[in-house]
Structure 1
Amino acid sequence: MNILLKSAKIIDPTNGDLHMKKRDIYIKNGTIEDIGSNLEVQGKTKVIEHKNLHVSVGWFDSGISFGEPGYEERETIANGLYTAAKSGFTDIVLNPNSNPVPDSSSDIIFLRNAAAQSATTLHPLASLTIKSEGESLAELYDMKTAGAVGFYDYKLPLKNSNLLKVALQYAHNFDGLVFSFPMDKQIAGKGIVNEGEISTKLGLKGIPHLAEELNIVRDLFILEYAGGKMHIPTISTENSVKLIAEAKKKGLDVSCSVALHNLCFTDETLVEFDTHYKLIPPLRTNKDNKALIKGLKNGTIDFVTTDHRPMDIEQKRVEFDNAEDGTIGLETAFGMMNQIFDLETTIVFLTKGRERFEIPLPSLRVGEKATLTLFDPTAEYTFNEEHIISTSKNSCFLGAKLKGRVYGVISNNQIIS
């Protein structure tokens, strides 16, 4: 397949020669053949022209959930990857949030095979423990060999401190990445929202900042003792940022992410008891949000994730106490981030993080495989249900005003546009 992108403005801060320049990009059989001005069409070529077309290397998300196997009514792998591609993502890390969870090498092979023909590449996480029950380690080495990029009991904190220590020590032998979800369940108790003034006014049980921060302190002490590589997903408090900054200064091999919605909303959005805003970690305060954004800008927080988690309507259209946690976020990632940050910073955050998972970095240069995202950063619109591609419609961004529209991707010698 031959493709010619016409008059595309390139956003690539790593490439001083092309950054912010308008160029034609000629792609032959999945490889960038030429970049220049007024390139001529060669033979049978698909020409792509869009209003205010911009292009960057393909975007990456470090924490996506679908449903298959077991919860196909929420989202299948095929439609989930199509949604990711239409949202601009050429690589996603898939959370082990299925039934059964992927806790063997054959499960990892199944996930990779199910995604093999997609434009967006799926990189599976494996469960850290058997059945994600927190009792015994799963087949970590075998799953890494099969293609797992890390080990995670999805949103389930590991109660057994010694098991976390052993996991870090064992995975260190083959450079495995161990996730630890930051929440002390005993402190959190039956809390469902941020503990504070809003939870008191609404009569909802709160989750204090301490529940997250105490778990992070424990994890960092264990990491310092055991060695290895740790990732702490979706932090949400000001003090969590400080704790991780101190750990990095010590030289600990720790990374962390923040969920996009924890940058965009606070617990004040809960006043109408809208279950779309029931999330884990919960929405915190404006002070926390500012600290998280600052942590991203100074490099303490390594990357933003949509924390995309489809839930069918029966799990959300119930009383707030009984609703499931989670929101979809792929379709709104660019439009929301592009309002918080300038365009160049937005693209940096959307493209960074692969190296932590040992995923090859794409490059927008002649001779390299074409892994590109196409978008218009100036289009403005209000996000509503007709813009949702996901099977599930549980978006906390419904009604939000977005800045920036994604045209699609060119990846794995395919066009999704």
Structure 2
Amino acid sequence: MNILLKSVKIIDKNNESLHLKTRDIHIKNGIIVKIAAKIEPEGKTQVVKHKNLHGSIGWFDSSVSFGEPGYEERETIENGLQVAAQSGFTDVILNPTMHPCPDSSSDIVYLKNAAANQLTNLYPLGTLTMKADGNDLAELYDMKNSGAVGFYDYKLPMTNANLLKIALQYVQNFDGLVYSFPMDTKIAGKGIVNEGEVSTKLGLKGIPTLAEDLQVARDLFILEYTGGKLHIPTISTATSVKLISDAKKKGLNVSCSVAVHNLIYTDAVLEQFDSAYKVLPPLRTKADTKALIKGLKDGTIDFITSDHTPMNIEEKRVEFDNASFGTTGLETIFGSLNQLLGIETTIDLLSKGRERYGIKSPILKEGEPACLTLFNPDETYVFDEKHIESTSKNSMFIGAELIGKVYSTINNGQYITNE
């Protein structure tokens, strides 16, 4: 690799000397060898020029799902990582959604090996309980030693409060991160959308915000009692934001995330009965989206995620009640978030979060490995199925106008371009 990036406007709030500056960047053998106002190419150098070229450190997504092993028709690990790279992501956290679920060290080793030698780094989560059934803790210590960065029964609430207590106490011995999905199953019942005016009008069973709020409050009380590290993924209600904000003010070691679609859409879109909008947690109200955006801006919500969940056509093109939850999101998170929050805030949110998982954040500096995302923040286009590189096409953003296009991604001595 011998690449010269010409006239890159750098977006990096943590790098005062380069933030909003336009620079040439020379990369050789995967290392940044020079950053300067002007660099002339020498020898066999690949010169990269683009209209309105911007760059930042590589992006991070804390919640992606593929299918392999078990559901390869949805997405293989190889293709999923290719999609992530083309979407600008150099590091992703993989949810334990495969079959069999990863509840042992050998499962984690398999996932790491399957993702080896790719541009995008994959960091797997192991399940919190054996077979994700909520009964007995999985091999947490062994999985941590094999590369698991956290423990999560994906989208399955921890109904046994005592088991969550024991997990939080146990992982303190090796600095483990415990996930708890924010939903009380007894309150949620058989609900599939947000409980409110829209669900009543459409005759769809609702999941009240109370189901999330009660679970979050319970988990925070347990965390206060036990100590340890807790992550609450993809919150969706205004009360959750308030509860987590208060917990952080107490000094509790809690983090949380929000899925981008819960910022963009409300349950009003359900009037189309389009199963692409069926997600968990469900799309909520305008008041909730406003609170979530405020929580992002004030730091209560630690990071944003695509919550990329590919589903094959048989899971989605059925009656709304019977459709599976989930939408793809890797390919649309940049364009949708940029439109909502502007480029500087967007890049800051897409770049943060690694430290929570013990992952070193890349540095844009001479002598450091090149880990970069290159993009045009001003290109506007209508997202269409032809833009989807994922095997599954279940995106709720089809037909949406997005602002921002990823040009290319550089990491691990590899260069992928969308041109």
TM tier relative to shorter chain: over 0.9
Q: Secondary structure of 1:143's partner?
A: helix
Q: Report the Cα distance in structure 1 between the residues aligned to 2:230 and 2:340, rounded to whole angstroms.
A: 28
Cα deviations by residue, 1:1-28 (Å, 9 ceiling, x for unpaired): 1111111111111111111111110011
Residue 98 of structure 1, CA deviation: 0.4
Q: Which amino acid aligns with 1:289?
A: T
Q: Secondary structure of 1:82's partner?
A: helix
Q: Which amino acid aligns with 1:77?
A: I
Q: Report the Cα distance in structure 2 between the residues aligned to 1:165 and 1:43, rounded to whole angstroms.
A: 61
Q: Report the Cα distance in structure 2 between the residues aligned to 1:7 and 1:370, rounded to whole angstroms.
A: 16
Q: Which amino acid aligns with 1:215?
A: Q
Q: Report the Cα distance in structure 2 between the residues aligned to 1:141 and 1:407, rounded to whole angstroms.
A: 40
Contiguous gaps of at least 5 residues in structure 2: none
Q: Secondary structure of 1:270's partner?
A: helix
Residue 194 of structure 1, CA deviation: 0.3
Alignment correspondent of 1:85: 85
Residue 193 of structure 1, CA deviation: 0.3
Cα deviations by residue, 1:337-377 (Å, 9 ceiling, x for unpaired): 00111211100000000000000110111111100001000
For the pair 1:268 / 2:252, whether they are aligned, the reply is: no
Cα deviations by residue, 1:172-221 (Å, 9 ceiling, x for unpaired): 11000000000000100000000000000000000000100100111001
1:219-258, aligned counterparts within 5 Å? Answer: 219-258=219-258
Cα deviations by residue, 1:210-247 (Å, 9 ceiling, x for unpaired): 10010011100110111100000000000000000010
For the pair 1:43 / 2:38, whether they are aligned, the reply is: no
What TM-score do you get using the length of structure 2 for normalisation? 0.99
Q: Report the Cα distance in structure 1 between the residues aligned to 2:128 and 2:42, rounded to whole angstroms.
A: 50
Moved more, 12-21 or 135-144: 12-21
Q: Secondary structure of 2:397's partner?
A: coil
Q: Secondary structure of 1:251's partner?
A: coil
1:118-137, aligned counterparts within 5 Å? Answer: 118-137=118-137
Q: Secondary structure of 1:97's partner?
A: coil
Q: Report the Cα distance in structure 2 between the residues aligned to 1:360 and 1:45, rounded to whole angstroms.
A: 29
Q: Report the Cα distance in structure 1 between the residues aligned to 2:93 and 2:42, rounded to whole angstroms.
A: 36
Moved more, 212-221 or 10-19: 10-19
Alignment correspondent of 1:359: 359
Residue 277 of structure 1, CA deviation: 0.3
Q: Report the Cα distance in structure 1 between the residues aligned to 2:20 and 2:227, rounded to whole angstroms.
A: 42
Alignment correspondent of 1:114: 114
Alignment correspondent of 1:157: 157
1:315-354, aligned counterparts within 5 Å? Answer: 315-354=315-354
For the pair 1:71 / 2:87, whether they are aligned, the reply is: no
Q: Report the Cα distance in structure 2 between the residues aligned to 1:118 and 1:248, rounded to whole angstroms.
A: 36
Alignment correspondent of 1:11: 11
Q: Secondary structure of 1:243's partner?
A: helix
1:204-223, aligned counterparts within 5 Å? Answer: 204-223=204-223
Q: Report the Cα distance in structure 2 between the residues aligned to 1:266 and 1:109, rounded to whole angstroms.
A: 39
Residue 38 of structure 1, CA deviation: 2.2
Alignment correspondent of 2:178: 178
Q: Report the Cα distance in structure 1 between the residues aligned to 2:196 and 2:121, rounded to whole angstroms.
A: 41
1:355-394, aligned counterparts within 5 Å? Answer: 355-394=355-394
Alignment correspondent of 2:298: 298
Q: Report the Cα distance in structure 1 between the residues aligned to 2:165 and 2:9, rounded to whole angstroms.
A: 48
Q: Secondary structure of 1:409's partner?
A: strand
Q: Report the Cα distance in structure 2 between the residues aligned to 1:353 and 1:172, rounded to whole angstroms.
A: 20
What TM-score do you get using the length of structure 1 for normalisation? 0.99
Residue 44 of structure 1, CA deviation: 2.1
Q: Report the Cα distance in structure 1 between the residues aligned to 2:148 and 2:42, rounded to whole angstroms.
A: 40
For the pair 1:202 / 2:234, whether they are aligned, the reply is: no
Q: Report the Cα distance in structure 2 between the residues aligned to 1:203 and 1:363, rounded to whole angstroms.
A: 51
Q: Report the Cα distance in structure 1 between the residues aligned to 2:12 and 2:187, rounded to whole angstroms.
A: 44
Alignment correspondent of 2:188: 188
Q: Secondary structure of 1:69's partner?
A: coil
For the pair 1:140 / 2:145, whether they are aligned, the reply is: no
Q: Report the Cα distance in structure 2 between the residues aligned to 1:115 and 1:240, rounded to whole angstroms.
A: 34
Q: Which amino acid aligns with 1:156?
A: L
Residue 385 of structure 1, CA deviation: 0.2
Q: Report the Cα distance in structure 2 between the residues aligned to 1:38 and 1:164, rounded to whole angstroms.
A: 56
1:301-316, aligned counterparts within 5 Å? Answer: 301-316=301-316
Q: Secondary structure of 2:309's partner?
A: coil
Q: Report the Cα distance in structure 2 between the residues aligned to 1:180 and 1:42, rounded to whole angstroms.
A: 53
Residue 69 of structure 1, CA deviation: 0.4
Residue 42 of structure 1, CA deviation: 2.6
Q: Which amino acid aligns with 2:338?
A: N
Q: Report the Cα distance in structure 1 between the residues aligned to 2:8 and 2:105, rounded to whole angstroms.
A: 42
Q: Report the Cα distance in structure 2 between the residues aligned to 1:13 and 1:214, rounded to whole angstroms.
A: 36
Q: Report the Cα distance in structure 2 between the residues aligned to 1:47 and 1:149, rounded to whole angstroms.
A: 37
Q: Which amino acid aligns with 1:13?
A: K
Residue 49 of structure 1, CA deviation: 1.1
Q: Secondary structure of 1:245's partner?
A: helix
Kindly tell me the number of residue pairs found equivalent between the two proteins.
Answer: 417
Deviating 4+ runs (over 6 angstroms): none
Q: Report the Cα distance in structure 2 between the residues aligned to 1:42 and 1:77, rounded to whole angstroms.
A: 38
Residue 272 of structure 1, CA deviation: 1.1
Residue 395 of structure 1, CA deviation: 0.1
